[in-house]
């Protein structure tokens, strides 16, 4: 039987609609308009597209969107001054610095400078540490989206064997913590893992965040497993425009997996929706009102 397709487009649209409802409620009941500031340094075309999408969806959810576009030659101290201003601005509840930064700018110094209360990307070490110790934290958006997608298939992830491929701070590492919070049994694998296909085949829930086009083959997947494909890779296509594929051989996996996310149309859709969730949560926490219902 062909795998169930986990439709990130529909699930993300539903999440954005629920965020918009909650934004309307906090505006009405508390006079609070959550605000997200996005900082873009330079002219990376992919980053420009992401930033535009973020601004559009932030406004569509009823939140305030602030864009700060800085030239590629911006110095670290000028960038840190912008962050300091945003940290102090009461209309801004979330700050996102679009990565990667142009060469020469130390992204860790920039991430460290963001007020942890406004760190909606969840990359500041304070939030990463809080997540790792089981404390409430702002959590990176892509892993949050992965958990939401997995839970559309399994009401509970408790006791499931979850295998993650990739150990980045952005995806793999926070996924470990989020899956532990769901009481899954978690294995994290990476480029030094021995016999990766065998490790993957143990997974009831397989999450691939590698950045290698179609690396995960059908025979790495346990029959009936749920597969969440985080990878976004552009490869050559016959029409010369190139096409996006994930880290999983999607066509092959369809006949083995129980459920799978497509690329595009899977995890990528959830990332911005979860950014809106984080901005709303940050705004409520800063204002000292109860956490929103999303
Ligand atoms: P990184 O490059 O930071 O990390 C990749 C990870 O994959 C590393 O831990 C690396 O291991 C591991 N890896 C590399 N090669 C292999 C291999 N042959 N076998 C096993 N593991 C391997 O990538 P990110 O985590 O930032 O992103 C991963 C993918 O997810 C990319 O395609 C990216 O575009 C996509 N992405 C998608 C998002 C979305 O919204 N859908 C958001 C963020 C990322 P090691 O640590 O040993 O080097």
pLDDT digits (tens, 9 = 90+) for 135-185: 999 999 999 999 999 999 999 999 999 999 999 999 999 999 999 999 999
Residue 271 Cβ contacting ligand 1 at under 6 Å: yes
Residue 1 reports pLDDT greater than 90:
no
227-266 confidence digits (pLDDT tens): 999 999 999 999 998 999 999 999 999 999 999 999 999 9
222 shares a domain with 178? yes
Residue positions annotated with a catalytic role = 54, 98, 121
CB 166 within 8 A of CB 210: yes
What is the sign, positive or negative, of the torsion defined by CA atoms of 116, 122, 123, 129? positive
Residue 196 Cβ contacting ligand 1 at under 6 Å: yes
159 shares a domain with 237? yes
Question: What is the spatial distance between Cα 224 and Cα 204, in angstroms, rounded to a whole number?
Answer: 8
- Kindly report the protein residue whose alpha carbon is nearest to atom 40 of ligand 1: 268
Residue 52 Cβ contacting ligand 1 at under 6 Å: no
- Kindly report the protein residue whose alpha carbon is nearest to atom 16 of ligand 1: 191
| Domain-terminating residue out of 78, 100, 115 | 115
Sequence-ordered list of residues with C-beta below 8 angstroms from that of 14, at least 6 positions apart, any chain: none
- In the reported structure, the alpha carbon of residue 25 is separated from the centroid of ligand 1 by a whole-number distance in angstroms of 38
Residue 87 reports pLDDT greater than 90:
yes
Residue 175 Cβ contacting ligand 1 at under 6 Å: no
221 shares a domain with 183? yes
Q: Give the global pTM.
A: 0.97
- In the reported structure, the alpha carbon of residue 132 is separated from the centroid of ligand 1 by a whole-number distance in angstroms of 20
93 shares a domain with 180? no
175 shares a domain with 80? no
CA-based angle 274:276:282, to the nearest 5?
100
Residue 230 Cβ contacting ligand 1 at under 6 Å: yes
Q: For residue 72, what pLDDT is reported? A: 97
CB 99 within 8 A of CB 106: no
Residue 232 Cβ contacting ligand 1 at under 6 Å: yes
170 shares a domain with 107? no
156 shares a domain with 83? no
Residue 272 Cβ contacting ligand 1 at under 6 Å: no
154 shares a domain with 93? no
CB 80 within 8 A of CB 74: no
70-83 confidence digits (pLDDT tens): 999 999 999 999 99
Q: Is residue 13 part of a domain?
A: no
Q: For residue 45, what pLDDT is reported? A: 92
164 shares a domain with 264? yes
Q: Which of 111, 190, 195 to mutate to test the pocket of ligand 1 (most atoms within 8 A of CB)?
A: 190
Residue 83's domain comprises 31-115
Number of domains in the chain: 2
104 shares a domain with 66? yes
Give the CATH number for residue 55: 3.40.50.10860
CA-based radius of gyration for the chain: 19
256 shares a domain with 178? yes
94-128 confidence digits (pLDDT tens): 999 999 999 999 999 999 999 999 999 999 999 99
- In the reported structure, the alpha carbon of residue 190 is separated from the centroid of ligand 1 by a whole-number distance in angstroms of 9
- In the reported structure, the alpha carbon of residue 234 is separated from the centroid of ligand 1 by a whole-number distance in angstroms of 14
Ligand 1, atom nearest to 215 Cα: 18
264 shares a domain with 153? yes
Give the CATH number for residue 155: 3.40.50.720
């Amino acid at each position: 039987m062909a795998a169930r397709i986990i439709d990130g487009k529909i699930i993300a649209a539903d999440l954005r609609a629920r965020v918009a409802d909650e934004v309307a409620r906090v505006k009405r009941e508390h006079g609070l308009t959550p605000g997200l500031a996005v900082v873009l340094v330079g002219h990376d075309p992919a980053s420009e597209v992401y930033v535009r999408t973020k601004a559009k969806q932030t406004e569509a959810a009823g939140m305030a969107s602030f864009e700060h576009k800085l030239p590629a030659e911006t110095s670290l101290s000028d960038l840190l001054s912008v962050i300091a201003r945003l940290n102090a601005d009461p209309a801004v509840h979330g700050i996102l610095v679009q990565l990667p930064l142009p060469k020469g700018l130390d992204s860790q110094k920039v991430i460290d400078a963001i007020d942890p209360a406004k760190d909606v990307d969840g990359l500041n070490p304070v939030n990463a540490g809080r997540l790792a110790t089981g404390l409430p934290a702002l959590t990176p958006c892509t892993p949050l989206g992965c958990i939401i997608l997995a839970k559309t298939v399994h009401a509970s992830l408790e006791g499931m064997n979850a295998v993650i491929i990739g150990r980045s701070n952005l995806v793999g590492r926070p996924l470990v913590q989020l899956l532990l919070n769901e009481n899954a049994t978690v294995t994290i694998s990476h480029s030094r893992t021995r016999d990766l296909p065998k490790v993957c085949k143990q997974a009831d829930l397989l999450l691939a965040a590698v950045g290698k086009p179609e690396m995960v083959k059908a025979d790495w997947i346990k029959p009936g497993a749920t597969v969440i494909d985080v990878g976004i890779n552009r490869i050559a296509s016959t029409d010369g425009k190139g096409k996006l594929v994930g880290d999983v051989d999607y066509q092959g996996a369809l006949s083995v997996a129980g459920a799978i996310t497509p690329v595009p149309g899977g995890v990528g859709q959830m990332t911005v929706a979860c950014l809106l969730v984080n901005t709303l949560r940050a705004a409520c926490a800063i204002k000292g009102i109860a956490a929103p219902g999303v």
